[in-house]
Amino acid sequence: MKKPLLEFTNKGIYCSAAKVYLDPWQPVDKAIISHGHADHSRYGHKHYITHHRNVPIISHRLGEINVIGKEWGETFVINNVKFSLHPAGHIIGSSQIRVESKGEVWVFTGDYKTENDGISTPYEVVKCNTFITECTFGLPAFKWIPQKEVLDDINQWWAENQTEGKTSVLFGYSLGKAQRLLKYLNPDIGKIYTHGAIENMTRVLRPLVDFPETTLITRETKKEALLGNIVLAPPSAHGSTWIRKMVPYVTASASGWMTFRGARRRRAIDKGFVLSDHCDWQGLLDSIKATGAEKVICTHGYTEIFSRYLSEQGYDARTEETQYEGELGELNAAKEEPVEMN
């Protein structure tokens, strides 16, 4: 039997014909990287290939690496296998990876969302035979509201906290969610303060996107200066002494998980905004249909449930174990140590 174009190995998704891995989780010689989140772009590969908008991101995260940046849709051939990157709409520089050999096309989505967030290049439908998809939110309980409504709510929440003389603390992952929030925060309401992890990543991205002005919280920042303003912080900062020093404050989290009342209560967050960089249920189903794929492989999220549903809908669907975490990674992100504030 001939080998499939892409295989799932203990190091990652592997194209044996080209000797190339996609988003591998063990060190390899040649890796094509979908996007800059830690579970997809790891340390230790000899060669990285990714979209050029992702180059500054992974260079910032991983330090000195040997990386080549590609354009959207630019075809590069390795051992007769054709590769190209196409926008995934997940975060800035995030791609789907298209692999073609002998007339057969596979697409690996990495993480993706179909709504245009205005800072990531919008998701593009790529026709294929086999679609390797994430399904972080592959349950019918997940249904996103248009971004504009959520972001208006967030600005309104900030303005309300301001009238009560409180600091607004908004949690979002330091790469992706934080910049999406920042892009739409209304600087007419007040100043936007940042946690170090977010400030550093935003600085890397400023040449690519026009963001409102931010102020890094440092040792010199007085908590009185924060009152009425907003602080952007990674989820891992929740409950830290760094945050507790900001009293009086109100916390909010922006994540797809905020759909569940339990998720918000469990984390003792005052307010939850449902805003995700992944597809909701309908988004997943629509994009799978649009690719025209007959085979679907589900990699991370509610894989068992989602692939069972797809099978019932007539797809040849299965799951594969990977080490991608989707937005769960966001929830359980490692502590990013902030600078102490006086």
Partner 1 sequence: MKKFASLIKTLDSTNKTNVKVQALADYFTDADDSDKVWTIAILSHRRPPRPVNTTLLREWASDLANIPLWLFEESYHIVGDLAETIALIIPSAKTSTEKNLTQFLKEMIALKKKTDEAKKSYLYENWKTLDYYERFVFTKLITGGFRIGVSQKLMTRALSRAVEIDEDILAYKLMGNWDPNKISFQELVLEENASDYLSKPYPFYLAYAIEGEVADLGDVNAWSAEHKWDGIRSQVILRNNELFVWSRGEELVTDKYPEFSALIGAIPNGTVIDGEILPYLDGAIGTFNDLQTRIGRKKVSKALLEKVPVILKAYDLLEWEGKDIRTLPFTERRKLLERLVETITSGTPADSEARTDKKPLYLSPTIHFSSWNEVAEERDRAREMRSEGLMLKRKDSPYLVGRKKGDWWKWKVDPLTIDAVLTYAMRGHGRRSNLFTDYTFGLWNKNEAGEKELVTFAKAYSGLTDAEFRKVDAWIKKNTLERFGPVRSVTPYHVFEIAFEGIALSKRHKSGVATRFPRILRWRQDKKIEEADSLSTLKKLIP
Name the minimum Å distance from CB 321 to partner 1: 9
270 scored as a contact of partner 1 (CB under 8 A)? yes
266 scored as a contact of partner 1 (CB under 8 A)? yes
Q: Closer to partner 1 at the Cβ: 139 or 204?
A: 139
CA distances to 206, 217, 241, 295, 336 from 339, in Å: 21, 7, 11, 48, 10
Place of tokens 């988003």: 23
The amino acid present at 286, given as its one-letter code, is D
CA 327 to CA 276: how far, in whole Å?
8
268 scored as a contact of partner 1 (CB under 8 A)? yes
Name the minimum Å distance from CB 163 to partner 1: 16
CA distances to 41, 56, 252, 260, 265 from 158, in Å: 34, 31, 10, 22, 20
CA 47 to CA 247: how far, in whole Å?
47
302 scored as a contact of partner 1 (CB under 8 A)? yes
Output Rg (C-alpha) for the chain, integer angstroms.
20
218 scored as a contact of partner 1 (CB under 8 A)? no
38 scored as a contact of partner 1 (CB under 8 A)? no
* Only segment of 48-56, 136-144, 203-211, 288-296 that touches partner 1 (CB under 8 A): 136-144
* Only segment of 18-26, 95-103, 153-161, 252-260 that touches partner 1 (CB under 8 A): 252-260
CA distances to 53, 79, 83, 108 from 100, in Å: 23, 11, 6, 11
156 scored as a contact of partner 1 (CB under 8 A)? no
Show the tokens assigned to 56. Answer: 């500054």
* Only segment of 42-50, 85-93, 106-114, 270-278 that touches partner 1 (CB under 8 A): 270-278
Name the minimum Å distance from CB 295 to partner 1: 21
Name the minimum Å distance from CB 13 to partner 1: 19
Q: Which of 332, 335, 337, 340 binds partner 1 (CB under 8 A)?
A: 332
Q: For residues 112 and 86, is the Cβ–Cβ distance under 8 A?
A: no
Q: For residues 254 and 225, is the Cβ–Cβ distance under 8 A?
A: no
Q: For residues 179 and 202, is the Cβ–Cβ distance under 8 A?
A: yes
> CA 278, 49, 106 angle in degrees (round to 5)?
60
Q: Closer to partner 1 at the Cβ: 2 or 261?
A: 261
CA 251 to CA 167: how far, in whole Å?
9
Name the minimum Å distance from CB 213 to partner 1: 31
Name the minimum Å distance from CB 199 to partner 1: 26
318 scored as a contact of partner 1 (CB under 8 A)? no
The amino acid present at 263, given as its one-letter code, is A
Taking alpha carbons only, the member of 13, 16, 17, 15 closest to residue 34 is 13
Name the minimum Å distance from CB 12 to partner 1: 17
248 scored as a contact of partner 1 (CB under 8 A)? no
Q: Closer to partner 1 at the Cβ: 56 or 138?
A: 138
DSSP states along 189-228: T--EEE-HHHHHHHHHHTTTS-----EE--TT--HHHHTT
143 scored as a contact of partner 1 (CB under 8 A)? yes
* Only segment of 33-41, 146-154, 175-183, 267-275 that touches partner 1 (CB under 8 A): 267-275
285 scored as a contact of partner 1 (CB under 8 A)? no
- The site for partner 1 (CB under 8 A) is made up of 139-143, 257, 259-266, 268, 270-272, 302, 304-305, 308-309, 312, 332
